[in-house]
Amino acid sequence: WVVVDASQFIAHAPLALSDNGTVERELDAVAFSGHKLYAPGSPGVMVVRQILLEGQEPDELGGGMVDDVSLSNYQITGYFPDREEAGTPNIPGAVQLGAVLNVLQRIGMGSIHAAEQRLLRRLLTGLLAIPGVRIYGDPDLDRTPRLGVVSFNLAGLEHGLVAAMLNDYHNVAVRNGCFCAHPYVRELLKPELWELDLDPDADDADALIKPWQGMVRASLGLYSTDADIDALLNGVHDLLANPAYYRAQYQGDGAGNFCHRSFTVSAKSLFDPEAMLDQALASLSVSTDVL
Q: What's residue 106's pLDDT?
A: 97
pLDDT band at 288 (very low <50, low <70, confident <90, very high): low
Task: Give the integer Cα–Cα distance in Å for 135 and 137.
Answer: 6
For the chain, helix (H) and strand (E) counts, in that order, are: 10, 11
Mean pLDDT of 53-69: 88
Strand partners, 152: 135, 216
CB-based contact 64:82 (threshold 8 Å): yes
Mean pLDDT of the chain: 90
Residue 287 has pLDDT above 70, yes or no: no
Domain 109-267 has CATH 3.30.590.10: no
Q: What's residue 23's pLDDT?
A: 64
CB-based contact 124:150 (threshold 8 Å): yes
Residue 69 has pLDDT above 70, yes or no: yes
CATH architecture of 3-107: 3-Layer(aba) Sandwich (3.40)
Comparing 37 with 201, which gets the higher pLDDT? 37
Task: Give the integer Cα–Cα distance in Å for 280 and 124.
Answer: 48
CB atoms within 10 A of CB 135: 15
Residue 270 has pLDDT above 90, yes or no: no
Task: Give residues with Cβ within 8 angstroms of 231, minimum separation 6.
Answer: 170, 171, 172
What is the DSSP secondary structure assignment for residue 177, as one 8-state letter?
Answer: E
CB-based contact 152:216 (threshold 8 Å): yes
pLDDT band at 153 (very low <50, low <70, confident <90, very high): very high
CA 71 to chain centre: 45
What is the number of alpha carbons within 13 Å of residue 88 lying toward its C-beta?
1
Q: What's residue 19's pLDDT?
A: 72
Q: Which helix (H) or strand (E) holds 11?
A: none
What percent of the chain has a predicted confidence (pLDDT) above 90?
A: 65
Task: Give the integer Cα–Cα distance in Å for 44 and 41.
Answer: 9
259 a catalytic residue: no
Mean pLDDT of 228-254: 96
Domain range summary for the chain, segments of one domain joined by +: 3-107, 109-267
Q: What's residue 157's pLDDT?
A: 95
CB-based contact 172:220 (threshold 8 Å): no
Q: Residues 78-100: pLDDT tens digits?
A: 889 999 999 998 999 999 999 99
State the pairing for strand pair 29-33/3-5.
parallel
Mean pLDDT of 254-279: 88
CB-based contact 66:40 (threshold 8 Å): no
CB atoms within 10 A of CB 258: 23
The sign of the torsion formed by the CA atoms of 79, 85, 89, 94 equals: negative
Among 3, 180, 205, 241, which one carries the catalytic annotation?
180
Residue 161 has pLDDT above 70, yes or no: yes
Q: What's residue 26's pLDDT?
A: 83
* Radius of gyration for the alpha carbons in the chain, expressed in angstroms and rounded: 24
Q: What's residue 31's pLDDT?
A: 96
CB atoms within 10 A of CB 44: 14
Mean pLDDT of 140-147: 95
